[in-house]
């Protein structure tokens, strides 16, 4: 939402905006509280079957050392290929997949949340905030039903503050550190 920055005739700067805050602020503050605890693997060592270079005994060829050299080269080629594929996945494909997933989730949430907010007539929060002397901010909040009405209220509060009226008459005063 667009924030309107204005100052009163006595030089106090105000920021007036329409805020869409979740109803469950405690849940929103504990963002990520639902994540599972990380469980450590006891051994940490994968079980790999590596080629030994021996075996079979089929006819002719280079003998034991030739097969071992071929196995080592194949093993190195596989390791290099795995490192390249892993690096491409980690630095290219995974970020792109996560970006697409984030965009899809945000669009789905918007597609559900906006109609729900309109149907259930949830009020929009209009906030007028000014910096406090302790580094936090003092702010007035009021709730307004309807998006257009919230924008009108935001504009009215900003205009009244600019003209020198005292802090907004509606709403409640609070302090945020």
Task: Write the DSSP assignment of 112-159 as a string of letters.
Answer: HHHHHHHHTTPEEEEEEEEE-TTSSEEEEEEEEESHHHHHHHHHHHHH
Is residue 170 classed as helix, strand or coil in its secondary structure? coil
Quickly state the pLDDT bin for 85 (edges 50, 70, 90).
very high
How much is the pTM? 0.49
Per-residue confidence (pLDDT) for residue 11, from 0 to 100: 86
Q: Which residues contact 7 (CB under 8 A, 6 or more apart)?
A: 13, 14, 161, 162
Q: Which residue has the higher pLDDT, 16 or 20?
A: 16
DSSP E strands in the chain: the ranges are 4-7, 13-19, 123-131, 137-145, 172-176
Please state, in angstroms and rounded to a whole number, the distance separating the CA atoms of residues 18 and 8: 19
**Mean per-residue pLDDT, 16-30:** 64
Per-residue confidence (pLDDT) for residue 64, from 0 to 100: 62
pLDDT at 174 over 70: no
pLDDT (tens digit per residue) in 106-155: 999 989 988 887 788 888 888 888 888 787 788 888 888 888 899 999 99
pLDDT (tens digit per residue) in 36-77: 444 444 555 555 565 565 555 555 555 666 688 888 999 999
Each domain of the chain, given as residue ranges in start order, spans 4-20+65-176
Quickly state the pLDDT bin for 100 (edges 50, 70, 90).
very high
Per-residue confidence (pLDDT) for residue 142, from 0 to 100: 87
């Amino acid at each position: 939402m667009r924030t309107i920055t204005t100052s009163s005739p006595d030089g106090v700067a105000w920021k007036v905006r329409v805020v869409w805050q979740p109803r469950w602020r405690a849940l929103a503050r504990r963002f990520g509280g639902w994540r599972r605890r990380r469980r450590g693997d006891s051994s940490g060592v994968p079980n790999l079957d590596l080629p030994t270079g021996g075996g079979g005994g089929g006819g002719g060829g280079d003998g034991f050392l030739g097969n071992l050299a071929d196995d080592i080269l194949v093993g190195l080629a596989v390791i290099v290929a795995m490192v390249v594929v892993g690096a491409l996945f980690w630095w290219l494909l995974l970020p792109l997949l996560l970006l697409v997933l984030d965009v899809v989730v945000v669009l789905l949430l918007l597609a559900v949340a906006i109609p729900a907010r309109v149907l259930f007539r949830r009020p929009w929060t209009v906030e007028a905030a000014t910096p406090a002397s302790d580094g936090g901010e003092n702010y007035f909040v009021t709730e307004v039903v309807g998006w257009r009405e919230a924008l009108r209220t935001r504009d009215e509060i900003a205009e009244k503050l600019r003209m020198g009226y005292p802090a907004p008459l509606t709403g409640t005063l609070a302090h945020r550190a």
